[in-house]
Amino acid sequence: MTSETTKPNAQEKLPPRPQLIPDTNKLTPQDITEALKAGFDDFLAHPFMSGFFGLCYATFGLFFVWCLAWLGKIWMIIPASVGFPLVAPFAAAGLYEISRRRQAGQNFSWSDILSVMVRQRKREMGWMAFVTLFIFWVWVYQIRLWLAIILRDASFSDFTGFLNVVFLTPEGWTFLAIGTCAGALLSAALFSVTVIAMPMLLDRETDFVTAMLTSVHVVKENPVVMLTWAAIISATMLLSLVPAFLGLIFTLPILGHTTWHLYQRAVVPEVD
C-alpha cells in the first residue's frame, strides 16, 4: 500500500508578481481645458454634495489655525496655512468618487460618497494618506528649522509682530526666500507622487507604490502640461485661503473633480 504525498503547488512558491505601470497618454493644454469643463460640470451637477467637502476642508483649516493661535504657535500660522493645500489630494477622495460614478452613469447617494474612505480601508489609500501627512509634517518642521537658524533672535509676541519681522527685515526676507525654495521642492515632490496616484487608487485594484510611480511617470512625460496644472492648483488654492479659507468651499470641489478627469485622460483605461 503506497501513501500519497501532497506536492505543493509550484505557483504557491512564486513571489507575487509586481504590477506593471499602466500605459499613459501624451497630454496637451487642451486636456486641462476639457478636464476643467468636466470638473465644473460635476460641481454644478451636485453643488451641495461637492461643496460639503470644500466646507469640511475649509472648516478644518480654520480650526487648525485657531488651535495654533490658542497654543501660542504664532510662527506656524503662515507656513501651516500655505502648506495646508498639500493635503488637498487626500481630502478630495469623495470628489473623485462623485466624478467616477457620474462618468460611469451610476446613481449614488450621500452615504455612497461619504463612506468612500471606509470602503478603502482594505486597499492602499491609507498609505497615500501617510505619505501626504508625512510630507506636510516635513514642510512644517523645515520652516521651524529655518526660523531657528535665520530668525533666532526674533521674538513674536503676536501675529502682527511676526509679520513685521518676516516682511520688514532683511532676516525675514532671507527666511522667506529660503523657506519658499525648500517648500517648492517639497510641493513638487508631493504633487508628482499624488496627482495621479490618488484617483488611480480609488479607481483600480493596485498598490500605492505602482500608483505613485504612475503619477511620477505622467509628470515626467508631460512636464509642461503638469507644471501648468500644478501652477493652476497652487494659485487657486492660495487665493482661496485669503477670505478666511472660505474660497475653498468652491475651488476644492472644482479642482478635485478636474483632477479625476485629468487622470482619466492621462492613464489608459484597463482592459476587461
Does some domain include residue 20? Answer: no
Average pLDDT score, the chain: 81
Question: What one-character-per-residue DSSP string does 234-271 give?
Answer: HHHHHHHHTTTTTTHHHHHHHHHHHHHHHHHHHBPPPP
Does residue 14 form part of some domain? no
The structure's pTM equals 0.80
Amino acid symbol at 158:
D
Would you state the pLDDT for residue 154?
Answer: 62
For residue 15, is it within any domain?
A: no
Q: 18 lies in a domain?
A: no
Task: Let me know if residue 54 belongs to a domain.
Answer: yes
**Which range marks the domain in which residue 183 is found?**
32-266
For 29-72, write each residue's pLDDT tens digit: 999 999 999 999 999 999 999 999 989 888 888 888 888 778 77
Residue 9, pLDDT above cutoff 50: no
Structurally, the chain folds into a number of domains equal to 1
26 within domain boundaries: no
pLDDT in tens, 198-256: 899 888 888 888 999 999 999 999 999 999 999 998 889 888 877 778 888 999 999 99
Question: What is the pLDDT, as a whole number, of residue 15?
Answer: 42
Residues sharing a CB contact under 8 Å with residue 16, sequence separation 6 or more, in sequence order? none
Let me know the angle formed at the C-alpha of 227 by 220 and 127, rounded to the nearest 5 degrees. 65
The better pLDDT of the pair 41, 143 is held by: 41
- More confident: 148 or 75: 148
Residue 73 lies in a domain: yes
Cα–Cα distances (Å) from 61 to 56, 114, 116, 185, 191, in that order, read: 9, 19, 22, 23, 20
- The share of the chain scoring above pLDDT 90, in percent, equals 28
State in Å, rounded, how far the first CA of the chain is from the last one: 49
